[in-house]
Structure 1
Amino acid sequence: MIEIDGRNLALAKIVSVADGAPVSLASEALARMSASQDSAVATASRRPVYGRSTGVGANKTVTLAEADGADTHGLKLLRSHAVDAGKPLDRRTVRAMMVVRLSQLAAGGSGISPVIAEALAGMINADVIPEVREFGGIGTADLPALAGTALTMLGERQPLHGGAAPSLLEAWPTADALPFISSSALTIAQGVLAHQRLARLLESAMTVAGLSFIAMAGNPEALSPSVAAAADSPAVTTAANTLRSLVAGSGTPARIQDPYCLRTLPQVFGSQLEELDALGGLLERLVVAGNENPLVHGLPAEGTNDVAHHGLFQMTNLARRLDTVNLAIGAACATHLRRIDLLCDPDYTGQHPFLAEDGSGQSGVMMLEYVAAAAVGRIRANAQPASLQTVVLSLGAEEDASFASLAAAQLQSTAHAMETVTAVELVCAVRALRLQGRQAEEFGDAKVRNLLAAAFALSPDMKDRDLRSDVETATELVQQNY
C-alpha cells in the first residue's frame, strides 16, 4: 500500500503503483484538501476566480451565473475538454498519471473537494483505467487526459479495453471541474516512467561497456584515480571510479591509447547520469507541487485565504530537462555504435571478422550493427528539442506552449530504443569473450561476474543463424540491472 500524503512521493513508488500497487490517502492530506476547499469557497464569494466563477481560456471574461447554467458548467467543461486522438496509452502509463494527480491534489493547492480525491484513489485501487490517447496535451496541462478520466469516474466513458463503465461519482460540481484537470500529471508520469527505466538501463549499459572494454583489452589508465580527480564534473568522477572497478584485473592493455569509445567512457556515462539526476530532482518536486491554476492559498479562519492566477502549469523547465536527457543520450550513441563496430573487428578482439565461427565468409553478428544503428536513428531523432516548438491557441489566450508532453513521449521512445542498443552490445561483447575463452569467475567485480554468467545463457552456437532470440534475451538481462 502506497500512502499519498501530498508532501513526498518517491519516483520508485509511482512505478509501483503503475505496476499495480494500491494507494491510500493520508489523513493529513484529506484535512489539507478540506481546508483548501474552504479557502477557495471563501475567496470566490468576494472576487472572481478563474474556472470557478468564470469561463476558461478565451472565455475567462464570461461570468458564470445560475441563470447561465453555472450548476452544470463543470460537467460541460469536462465533456468539452475530454477529446483526444491517436493510439490509447498503456495501462502502466495511465496508472502512473492517476497517482501523480492524486499526489498533487493531496498537496492542497487546488481547492478541490476531498471527495474527488477519494474517488480517484478508489479508481486506482479498483484498477479502473481510463482510455487516454496520445494526442491532446501540448505541455500546458494535460486537459484531455484528465477530463476523460473524470468522465470515466462519472460512468460516461468506458474504461480502457471496454467493459462496464463505472460510476464512482454521481455528480461533478462546477467548482471541482477545472481544479481536477488543471495539471500536467500525464506528462510528469511519462517523465517518471522514462526516468526510472533509464536509471536502471544506464547502470546496465555501463556494465555492458565494461565487458566490451575487457573484450577489447582496453587501457584502464583512462579510468585511473588521477584522471577521475581531474574530471570537470562529479558525475564523471563517479563514472570513472565505477568503470575502473568494473574492469579491474581484466588483463594487459593492448594499446597505449584507446579509441574514444573506450577512452571517454567516464564522460559519456557521467554526462548522461548527471542530466538524468537533474531530471529526477525536478520530477520529485513536480509530483507534490500544487501547480493548479488558480493556486489556492491561505486559510479563511485567519483571513489570509486567496487565490493566485499564474502560469506554473506551463512545463517549461520539465520540457528543457527532458530534452537535455534526450540530447545527452543521443550524443552518446556514437560511442555505443563504435564499440559494437570494433567488437566485429579482428584487430580489436583477435577473432574472425564479425565474431564469426571461422574465416570462410560467415556473417556472424554483422546484421546486429544494422539493428543497433536503426535504434540509434530513433534516439537521435528524439534528441531534436521539443521545447523549441510553440503554438498560439484559444483565440490568442494561450500564445506559447512548452511541448513537454512531446519531450516526455520522446524520452520514453529513447529508453525503449536504448535497451535495444545496449542488448546488441551485450550480445557482441559476450560472444567475443566466449570466443576468447574468458570465464565469469575470473573477474573481480560482482556486477561483471553476474551479468557475464547470466549472459552465457545465450546460445554458444557461433554458426550463422537467426539472432533475434539472442537480442530478446539480452534485452531482458539489461532491464534487470545486474
Structure 2
Amino acid sequence: MVVLTGETLTILQAKQVLDEDAFVSASLDSLKRVEKSREAVDRIVDQKKVVYGITTGFGKFSDVLIDSQDVEALQWNLIHSHACGVGDPFPEVVSRAMVLLRANALLKGFSGVRPVVIETLLELLNAHIHPVIPQQGSLGASGDLAPLSHLALVVMGEGEVFYKGQKMPAIDALNKEGIQPVTLKAKEGLALINGTQAMTAMGVVNYMEAEQLAYQVDAVASLTLEGLQGIEEAFDHRVHEVRGYRQQCEVAKRIRHMISGSQLTTKQGELRVQDAYSLRCIPQVHGASWQALDYVKEKLEIEMNAATDNPLIFDEGESVISGGNFHGQPIAFAMDFMKIAVAELANISERRIERLVNPQLNDLPAFLSPVPGLQSGAMIMQYCAASLVSENKTLAHPASVDSIPSSANQEDHVSMGTIGSRHAHQIIQNVRRVVAIELICALQAVEYRGVDRMASFTRAIYEEVRQLIPSITQDRVFSKDIEKAASWLKDVNWPSFMKKHLSMNQTKGEFK
C-alpha cells in the first residue's frame, strides 16, 4: 500500500501504483491539513472577501466579482469551458498517474478543497477508473488546464473513462463501483485544474520507461561488443575514475560485468589497437545520458510533491496568495533535457548497427545476410534505425524555447512543458525500436562468432530473445521482429532479469 502525505511520494512508489496496482490511501495528518484549508475557503465565501478564483473570475476575468450564490456555478462553468483537450487520449497509465499526482498535491493542504474531493480521486485510482484525457491543448502554464479539466469532469460524474479495458461514460463506471460524483464547491474546480500534473504524470511515465531503456542499452551494447570483438580495456575502471563522472564509471562497471568471461571480446592490440567511438565511448555517452536522467528524476520528485495551484492558502486562511506555481518551466526544461539525452542513446546505437551490418567495417557477412546479394539480410533494418534517429532530432527540438501569450495577454509567458513531455514519450518509443534493431543485429553477429563463446549474461539475453525471434536464415518481414524485440524490451521485468543473471544492484551500478 502507498500512503500519500503530499510530501513524500517517490517515483518508486509511483511505479508501485502504476505498474503493480498498489492500493493508495491518504495519511490522517494530511487530511487534517486539508480540512483546515477548506475552513478558510468557507470563511472567505461567507465574509464575501475578494480573493482570486474563489470570489472572482479567472485569468483576465480576475477583476470580475462573483456573487456568493454563484460560486458553485462558477466551478461548473470553469470545468466545462476549460475541457478543450483534443487529439488522441493520453495512455491509460498516464491518466492514472495524473489522478495520483493531483490527489497528492491537494493533500499538501494549501488548496482549499474538501476531503471528499481527494477521497473521490483515491476511489478512482483504487477502482482502476481512469479518465479519458486528450493529449493536446495545454500551454504548460496556468496549469495543465485543458487536460486536468477532463480529469475533473470525471470527478463530477461526467466525461469518459477507461474501465476494465473499455471506454465508457464516467457515470457508468462510477455507478458500477458505487462511487458518488462530487458537486464542486468554491475553489475546488480551480484547485483540480490549476497544476502541472499532466506534464509531470507524462514525465514520470517517461522516466520509468527511459530508466529501464538506459539500462538495457548497456546490455545490448555488450552484445554488440561481442559481435564486433570489441576491446575490453576501454572499460577499465582506471580510465573512467580519472575523469570523475559517477555515471560514466557505473556504465563502464556494468559493461565489464556483462562481458565478464566472454571469449568473443578482445585485448588491446590483439586484433586492433582501439575501437571506433561508438564502441570505445559507450561509458562516456551513455553515462552523460544518465547524468541528464538523474537531473530529470530529481525535478520530477520535487514536482510530484509540489503545491502547484493558485491561489494558495496559508496560516489557516490568514494569507491567501496569488502566485505562479502552476508555471511548468522546471518540468519543461527537464523534459527537453530528457528528450536530448534519450535521443542520444539511439544516435550511438544506430552507429553500432552500422558497424554490425557494413562489410567495410567488419569481417561478418555483408548486412548479416545468410546469402549476401541474393538476400538483403539486415540492410533495411539499418535504414529504419536511421529514419527513427532522424525523426528524433526533430522531436528533440526544445519545446520550452517557445511561448505564446494567452488570456488577453494576462498569461503572457508559458512553458509548453506538456508538449515537451509528449515529445519525450514519442522519442522513447523510437529509441526502444532502434535498440531493438541493434539487439537483433547483435544476436546475429554473435551467432557467426560462436554462441558458446559468449559471456554468461549476454548468453542469457540471447537464449531468451531467440525464443521470440529466430535466427536470420532467410529474408522475411523484419518489421515483425523489430516490434517483438521492442515489446520484449518494454515488458521484461528488467530488475528481475538482472538479478537472476548478473547479481547486481542496477541503481548504483554495483554488484553483489
TM-score normalized by the length of structure 2: 0.88
Q: Is the 8 A contact 2:444 2:472 kept in 1?
A: no
State yes or no: 1:267 paired with 2:296: no
Q: 1:171 to 1:247 in 2, by over 3 A?
A: same
Q: Distance in 2 between matches of 1:71 and 1:418?
A: 47
State yes or no: 1:224 paired with 2:241: no
1:172 counterpart residue number: 184
1:92 counterpart residue number: 93
404, 407, 412: which one pairs with 1:391?
Answer: 404
Alignment of 1:63-462 (within 5 A): 63-66=65-68, 69-140=70-141, 141-160=143-162, 161-163=167-169, 165=171, 166=174, 168-250=180-262, 251-253=265-267, 254-299=271-316, 305-346=318-359, 348-439=361-452, 442-444=454-456, 446=457, 448-457=458-467, 458-462=469-473
Q: Distance in 1 between matches of 2:89 and 2:347?
A: 33
Q: Is the 8 A contact 1:343 1:428 kept in 2?
A: yes
1:59 counterpart residue number: 61
Shift of 1:127: 2.7
Q: Is the 8 A contact 2:97 2:201 kept in 1?
A: yes
Q: Distance in 2 between matches of 1:41 and 1:29?
A: 19
Task: Name stretches of at least 5 consecutive residues in structure 2 with no aligned partner.
Answer: 498-512
What CA deviation, in whole Å up to 9, does each residue of 1:356-386 have, x standing for no partner? 1134542111111112122212221111000
Task: Name stretches of at least 5 consecutive residues in structure 1 with no aligned partner.
Answer: none
Amino acid at match of 1:318: I
Q: Distance in 1 between matches of 2:24 and 2:52?
A: 31
* SS at 2:130 equivalent: coil
Q: 1:359 to 1:142 in 2, by over 3 A?
A: closer
Mean Cα deviation higher: 416-425 or 137-146: 137-146
* SS at 1:394 equivalent: coil
Q: Is the 8 A contact 2:389 2:430 kept in 1?
A: yes
* SS at 1:134 equivalent: strand
Identity score, percent: 27
Q: Distance in 2 between matches of 1:178 and 1:61?
A: 16
Q: Is the 8 A contact 1:39 1:297 kept in 2?
A: no
Q: Is the 8 A contact 1:212 1:429 kept in 2?
A: yes
What CA deviation, in whole Å up to 9, does each residue of 1:172-223 have, x standing for no partner? 1123221121111111100000000010011011100111011111122221
Q: 1:232 to 1:381 in 2, by over 3 A?
A: farther
* SS at 1:384 equivalent: coil
Shift of 1:142: 1.3
Q: Is the 8 A contact 1:85 1:134 kept in 2?
A: yes
Q: Is the 8 A contact 1:297 1:306 kept in 2?
A: yes
Q: 1:359 to 1:415 in 2, by over 3 A?
A: closer
Mean Cα deviation higher: 235-244 or 325-334: 325-334
What CA deviation, in whole Å up to 9, does each residue of 1:283-316 have, x standing for no partner? 111111112111222236xxxx312211121111
Q: Distance in 2 between matches of 1:407 and 1:313?
A: 16
Q: Is the 8 A contact 2:343 2:393 kept in 1?
A: yes
Shift of 1:118: 0.7
* SS at 2:340 equivalent: helix
* SS at 1:296 equivalent: strand
Q: Is the 8 A contact 1:22 1:125 kept in 2?
A: yes
Q: Distance in 2 between matches of 1:31 and 1:181?
A: 22
What CA deviation, in whole Å up to 9, does each residue of 1:417-458 have, x standing for no partner? 111001000000000001212237x415x3x24212212323
* SS at 2:160 equivalent: coil
1:476 counterpart residue number: 487
Q: Distance in 2 between matches of 1:477 and 1:421?
A: 13
Q: 1:461 to 1:359 in 2, by over 3 A?
A: closer
Shift of 1:48: 2.9
Q: Distance in 1 between matches of 2:325 and 2:244?
A: 33
What CA deviation, in whole Å up to 9, does each residue of 1:38-87 have, x standing for no partner? 244456648532101211100111122236x3342111111111221112
Shift of 1:248: 3.2
Amino acid at match of 1:452: Y
Shift of 1:227: 0.9
Amino acid at match of 1:334: N
Q: Is the 8 A contact 1:123 1:129 kept in 2?
A: yes
Q: 1:214 to 1:24 in 2, by over 3 A?
A: same
Q: Is the 8 A contact 1:294 1:308 kept in 2?
A: yes
Amino acid at match of 1:15: K
Q: Distance in 1 between matches of 2:52 and 2:324?
A: 13
1:18 counterpart residue number: 18
* SS at 2:294 equivalent: helix
2:509 counterpart residue number: none
Q: Distance in 1 between matches of 2:138 and 2:180?
A: 25
Q: Distance in 1 between matches of 2:320 and 2:433?
A: 48
Amino acid at match of 1:49: V
* SS at 1:162 equivalent: strand
2:510 counterpart residue number: none
Q: Is the 8 A contact 1:146 1:180 kept in 2?
A: yes
Q: Distance in 1 between matches of 2:308 and 2:277?
A: 44
Amino acid at match of 1:356: S
Amino acid at match of 1:234: R
Q: Distance in 1 between matches of 2:81 and 2:476?
A: 55
Mean Cα deviation higher: 167-176 or 220-229: 167-176
Q: Is the 8 A contact 2:71 2:185 kept in 1?
A: no
TM-score normalized by the length of structure 1: 0.93
Q: Distance in 1 between matches of 2:101 and 2:277?
A: 41
Mean Cα deviation higher: 82-91 or 318-327: 82-91
Shift of 1:10: 2.1
Q: 1:70 to 1:472 in 2, by over 3 A?
A: closer
RMSD of aligned Cα (Å): 2.1
Amino acid at match of 2:161: P
